[in-house]
Amino acid sequence: MPKPSDLLQGTLDLLILKTLVREAMHGWGISKRIQQLSGDVLSVQQGSLYPALHRLEQQGWITAEWKDSDLGRSAKFYSLTREGKQQLERELDSWNRLSSAVGLLLKKA
């Protein structure tokens, strides 16, 4: 089993939540969207994606629903809950703080 991703643990959660802001998506769609939006830089391994989705669902940030996908097959679509949106705000805050701190450090060091 290859090491799934280089993404920091919290970062994957943040990316998933952010991806789901606009519309409900299934797991496959989420991984494609992250890959696409990051210009193929980031690729999420299934091995981390699905456990993360289930964890987020268990914690009540996202909720799942079975719907027909655009290909006519039934798929599990995830969407943000109200609390999930608030959680996203918090995570964005902390991400901004972290990245600016890292940027500051890299610039000055």
Partner 1 sequence: MLRSRRFRIWSNRVHSLFRKDHLDAELNQELFFHFEQLVRENVAEGMSTEAARRAARQALGNLSQLAEECRDQRRVGWLHDLWQDLRYGLRMLRQSPGFTSLVVLSLALGIGANTAVLGALRASLLSNIPFPDGDRLVLVRTYPEWNPALNNSASIPDYIAWKQQSRSFESMGASIADHSRDFGAEEDGRPAERIEGHGFSPSLFVALGVQPLLGRTFTEEEAEIDHPAPVMVLSHRLWQRRFGGDPGVLGKEVRLSGTNLTIIGVMPPDFRYPLEETEYWVPLGINRFQLQGSARFFAVVARLKPGVSVQQAQAEMDGIGAQLARDFPDRHKGWRIRVQTLRNAWYGWMKIPLATLEGAVALVLLIACANVAGLLLARGAARRPEIVMRMALGAGRGRVVRQMLTESVLLSLIGGVLGTFVAWGALKALLQMNPPLAGQRITDVAVDLPLLALLGILSVVTGLIFGMGPAIACFQLDLAGPLKESTRSAGSPYRRNRLQSALVTLQIASALVLLIGSGLLINSFVRLAGFNLNFDPSGLLTFEYRIPQQQYVRNIGVFQGAPYSAIDPSPTPAIQRVYEQLRTMGGPESVAGISQPPVNSPVLNTMSFSIEERPIAENVADQNALRAVYFLITPNFFTTMKTRVVRGRDLNDFDTASASWVVIINEAMARRFWPGEDPIGKRLTLGVVSGERPREIVGVVRDIPTRRERADPQPVMYASYLQQSPDYRGPIANMFGQMTFLLRSSGDPLSLVPAARSAVADVDPDHAITRIQTMEQYWGGGMRDKRILAAVLGVFAFMATILAAIGIYGVMAYSVAQRTREIGIRMALGAGPRKVLMLIGSRAVTLISVGMVLGLAGSVALSRLIASQLWGIEPTDPATFIGVSLLLVTVALVAFFIPARRAIRVDPTEALRTE
What tokens does 7 get? 């993404």
Binding of residue 24 to partner 1 (CB under 8 A): no
- Asked whether 52 and 34 are in contact (CB, 8 A), the reply is no
Closest by Cα among 51, 33, 29 to 42: 33
Q: How far is the CB of 101 from partner 1 (least distance, A)?
A: 30
- Which residue lies nearer to partner 1 by CB, 85 or 97? 85
Shortest distance (Å) from residue 19 CB to partner 1: 16
- CB-nearer residue toward partner 1: 10 or 103: 10
Residue 9 interacts with partner 1 (CB under 8 A)? no
Give dist(CA 88, CA 92) in Å, integer.
Answer: 6
Does residue 79 interact with partner 1 by CB under 8 A? no
Contact, 43 vs 28, CB < 8 A? no
